[in-house]
Structure 1
Amino acid sequence: MSYVISGDCCSDASCVAVCPMNCIHPSPGEPGFGTTDGLFIDPRTCIDCGACADICPVDAAKPADRASAVDVQLNTAYYAERPALDGLDLDSWEPPNFDRWSDGPRRVAVVGTGPAGMYTTREFLQRSTAEVTLFDRLPVVGGLARYGVAPDHPVTKQIVKTFERIAAHPRVRWRPNTEVNVAELEGRYDAVVHASGSFESRRLGIPGEEAALTAAEVVAWYNGRPGARAVALRGPRVIVVGNGNVALDLARLMTADDRRLAGLDLPAQVRESLAGVTEVVLVGRRGPDVAAYTASAFREVEHSLGIVFRHHVTPAAWDHRGLTTLDGETIAADSLITAIGFTGRPIPGLPFDEVRGVVPNVRGAVVGRPGHFVTGWIKRGAQGGIGVNKACARETVRTVLTADVPQPA
């Protein structure tokens, strides 16, 4: 089901910038912007990701089944005679006003093919004549869009098809199953953009935590990511420490009924393990007023049976009895999953901020390493959904195109 923008639209266009499918129009610069009755979401290309709802300052973007019939009708009517757009008109390139990169083609390496890397590639294709080589240790493009989105959100995963089209462009060379390092890329490219993401789960730092599961390994397991290890998820009660979107995804999936699980693309062993969970306790160290989950993620679980929210609870230890809290309470459970966020992994040869889990950079340019750039979570920290990477990638590419980058020998 697509999202709809209601009559309360303020037309500030924040939603346009984060929409991963370029399906909100008229956008700034297009005919009708500022004169129509707000903005409209194309139901033909919307992937139901909720990015527009999460950023809308006036709560005007909402699922179609929660909007008025009039708003749904107006939204559909706007696109009745307009062709579907996905922002992939990559061959209608017009030279940008960037003198340094006006003569081409230039050679660019993008390391990592998740949303950050693929949006970066699209920006290069649309804004320059650059030839892009994509590297990824996995056999397919998509990253967390393919292996991080919950399996009960198959529509959101459709954006992977867009990324596959980018990888198939004539000016793109795709190198799957390939790990590269900074040293071997030196001198071969005009610019190297690192889009390695942040896949390391942050730790609680409590006794017994080594026996618990992390969100990163559970998500990789139920999404079938190549190389993911099997997870021993035991029920019927599971504690999830964390109040972000990933924590809510885990809780929603583990408490899904048999009929919903049966309709998902899940390995039999995963489906069997999830079916053995009947209750999930979501533990938050802070209150609900500062919870990290988005409104759209909360709407999916607010009426779910089997999910219990516990706020202002600080974990102190984990063992066979359950989770012991700082005030001495023991919450009995069969499994513990930590979902308190992710952090980046150092890239050998580049500086690294251990506290923030990012590569130090200025608008994407790596500090102290000319010719190297970053985008996505390894640039800004592990926050923001798929669509946020669009604006992040645009900033990095603009930095690359305007930088005084020497030609390789």
Structure 2
Amino acid sequence: MNSIHPSPGEPGFGTGASLFIDPRTCIDCGACADICPVDAAQPVEKASAEDVERNAAYFAGQEPLDATDLDSWEAPTYQVWGGGPRRVLVVGAGPAGMYATRELLLRTTARVTLVDRLEQVGGLVRYGVAPDHPSTKQIMQTFERILQHERVRWLPGTDARELPDGFDAVVHAVGARRSRRLGIAGEDAACTAEDFVAWYNGRPGAVRPVELVGPRAVIVGNGNVALDVARILLSDEARLRDMDVSSDVRRVLAAGGVKEVVLLGRRGPGEAAYTDSALKELLAAAGDRVELRHHARPTAWTSEGLALDDGTTIAAGNLFTAIGFEGTPIDGLPFDPERGIVPNVRGAVVGRPGHYVAGWIKRGARGGIGVNKACAQETVMALVSSSRAPASPGS
């Protein structure tokens, strides 16, 4: 999650006696504590007061996180929501919804009804994180504990529009589910990263979206998801056996015959959205079979491969698109189609008292899992500071 600093390339890396964990992006998964050979990484409740103060001082005064796409970020200064228990509906049990629920439980006396269209919590963590990154999925343990709280009512497999009215507030944390399109001829025959990732991660209802045709695949996109897809496609049978995927997925990937991947960026390397660690991991796993190509503009996907605007064609059997996601309209709420978000001020929906947003539907499909923590905190701060008339989920 890039939460531990100073990291390679930052001032002080390798020269100091301490490392510090950024509370704005830490997802509380506990992976650092599990692997630390000297037990230096500890939950705040077990750490000494001196270490907690030193950690806070390290990040004091730093610029807001660019990835949050927020005007500013402030440490939470909540007052408990008085007047007895109130009813809050949280729609979506992905990272944003779970962090929003956690903040409501920590900072208010509200009773939270949590719903999701799927049967399990986790959203992007459960069905979006690559299967060879099991440590990232450890946050699921925290999410599962949240469900056990006495003030949480968990309703899986539920459409929020089916619920009765009478909630004091509704937090919409539905994410951004729709893949962005390239807008080129033949794109309908390509495979979106969303569909491919959902299949190999076993999301309910997902089916194999494409027949793999080696030896080369082209992936348009320069984010971490594009690199995940490349790494999975190029994994040998030994790596696949170590992954948390079904035997059918392992069989299809092993038999797919993809031996080379071209990662195509429409802009330059300076605008690439993947992290350094993700690129290093890909190159370490299959560096000699990955081609990074930049400033390339696709014009059509044909039986011969991917045609570019310079008149050349990259011969390939499969085209994957991983150029990001966009939100879709929510019944009864305003929507900005250009940004793919619900218009809001620090999470409070514009013109709809009692309604709030968190996560990608709030700020756009940017930022990793950890960014949702700060995003949810800001939304709950807006919620508890407002006195709203009861809201209904579909109104």
Structure 2 contact 102–146 (Cα < 8 Å) conserved = yes
Output the amino acid matched with 2:182: L
Separation in 2, partners of 1:16, 1:96: 17
Superposed, 1:47-196 pairs within 5 Å as 96-97=78-79, 101-181=81-161, 187-196=165-174
Name the CA shift for 1:8/1:150 in 2 (closer, same or farther; >3 Å): same
Alpha carbons of 1:190 and 1:221: their partners in 2 closer, same or farther (altered >3 Å)?
same
Query: Does the residue aligned with 2:103 lie in a helix, a strand or coil?
Result: helix
1:351 aligns with 2:334: yes
Q: What is the Cα deviation at residue 265 of structure 1?
A: 2.3
Is the contact made by 2:336 and 2:343 (CA closer than 8 Å) also made in structure 1? Answer: yes
AA aligned to 1:355 is: E
Identity, % of aligned pairs? 56
Change (3 A) 1:11 1:263: closer
Rounded to whole Å, the distance in 2 between the matches of 1:126 and 1:302 is: 42
1:306-355 CA deviation, whole Å, 9 max, x = no partner? 21111111100001110000111100000100000011111111111111
Report how far residue 35 of structure 1 moved. Answer: 4.8
Measured after TM superposition, the shift of residue 279 of structure 1 is 1.1
Q: Which runs of 5 or more residues in structure 1 are unaligned?
A: 40-53, 56-94
> In the aligned structure 2, how far is the partner of 1:10 from the partner of 1:397?
36
Cα distance per residue 1:344-377 (max 9 Å; x no partner): 1111111111111100000001111111100000
Find the counterpart in structure 2 of residue 308 from structure 1: 291
Q: CA deviation at 1:250?
A: 0.5
2:28 to 3, 10, 21: 21
Tell me the distance in 1 between the aligned counterparts of 2:18 and 2:341.
33
- Measured in 2, the distance between the counterparts of 1:169 and 1:35 equals 32
1:377 aligns with 2:355: no
User: CA offsets, 1:10-35, max 9 Å, x none?
Assistant: 99977221000176679799533555
CA contact under 8 A between 1:26 and 1:33: conserved in structure 2?
Answer: no
Deviates more, 1:369-378 or 1:228-237: 228-237
User: What amino acid sits opposite 1:115 in the alignment?
Assistant: P
Assess if the C-alpha contact under 8 Å between 2:79 and 2:108 holds in 1: no
1:212 aligns with one of 190, 195, 204: 190
Q: Quote the offset at 1:302 in angstroms.
A: 2.6
Q: Is the 8 A contact 2:4 2:19 kept in 1?
A: no
Q: Cα gap change, 1:18/1:367 in structure 2, threshold over 3 Å: closer, same or farther?
A: same
Structure-2 change in CA distance of 1:349 and 1:186 (3 Å): farther
Distance, in Å, in 2 between the alignment partners of 1:196 and 1:115 is 10
**Secondary structure of 1:231's aligned partner:** coil
Shift of 1:273: 2.6
Residue 231 of structure 2 corresponds to: 252
Matched, 1:388 2:366: no
Counterpart CA distance in 1 for 2:49 and 2:236 is 45
Distance 1:408 1:353 in 2: 22
Cα deviation 1:29-61 (Å, max 9, x = unaligned): 95335558997xxxxxxxxxxxxxx99xxxxxx
Paired positions, count: 352
How many angstroms does 1:180 deviate by? 1.9
Residues in 1 aligned to 2:20 and 2:91: alpha-carbon distance in whole angstroms: 31
TM-score of the two chains, using structure 2 as the length reference: 0.82
Tell me the residue number matched to 1:334: 317
Partner of 1:200: 178
RMSD (Å), alpha carbons: 2.9
Is the contact between residue 16 and residue 25 of structure 1 (CA under 8 Å) also seen in structure 2? no
Q: Distance in 2 between matches of 1:180 and 1:34?
A: 42
Q: Is residue 365–residue 373 contact of structure 1 (8 Å, CA) maintained in 2?
A: yes
Selected match of 1:31 from 45, 50, 72: 50
The aligned residue for residue 294 of structure 1 is 275
1:281 aligns with 2:262: yes
How does the TM-score come out when normalised to structure 1? Answer: 0.80
